[in-house]
Amino acid sequence: MIEHVRAVREAGGEPLEVKLPRDLEQVGGLIIPGGESTTIGKLMVLYHLDTAIRQRVAEGMPLFGTCAGMILMADEVVDGLPDQPRLGLMDIRVRRNAFGRQRDSFEAKIEAPAYREPLEAVFIRAPYVERVGPEVEVLGTYEGKVVMCAQGSLFAAAFHPELTRDRRVHQRFIELARAWKRHALLDRCQ
């Protein structure tokens, strides 16, 4: 998580750690970091963040999931536990640990036409997307596999952009979050 805090700061954002549902009221967007998706999901349920996140996303708040965060956002997970908690917000099917175990971690450039030049990517026990729904835009691929996508204000990456020096992914998310926060503030003032 500390790497995302640094990346957001370097990309021009103002990071705030979210630990409880009330913290969501102060942010214009939320990043769900990598880690162990089952554990993160159980903690979200325990602290009622799952419900709060779904509510804020329904209001339009941008959400960005990296690696385990992508798994938690998916509406379908292959190779997950049957009772694995997840948000189920994106119309994607994700395969967990699709690129192998921890020892199979690697760095690579991914094709990402929206960014004009390939993105540096760090893959650690990374998933990939097996199916995208009709509303999902593919933003990045590696060896023909979908590793970054968006659906409205939802944004997911199978890799860890926070572990590279390239801040374009975080910059794009910060722009989405700022635009939504301005819009939400204007709605409250009217």
Q: Quick one: DSSP state of residue 128?
A: E
Q: Which two tokens stand for residue 77?
A: 């997970």
Is 183 annotated as catalytic? no
Q: Which residues pair with 63 in a beta bridge?
A: 30, 154
Element at 185 (helix H, strand E): helix 168-189
What span, in angstroms and rounded, lies between the C-alpha atoms of 39 and 25? Answer: 24
pLDDT in tens, 142-167: 999 999 999 999 999 999 999 999 99
Is 67 annotated as catalytic? yes
Selection from 159, 174, 187, 154 nearest residue 54 by Cα:
154
Q: Which residue is catalytic, options 4, 67, 149, 170?
A: 67
Q: Which residue is catalytic, options 10, 135, 137, 160?
A: 160
Is 149 annotated as catalytic? no
pTM above 0.95, yes or no: no
pLDDT in tens, 40-68: 999 999 999 999 999 999 999 999 999 99
Q: Which residue is catalytic, options 162, 175, 183, 189?
A: 162
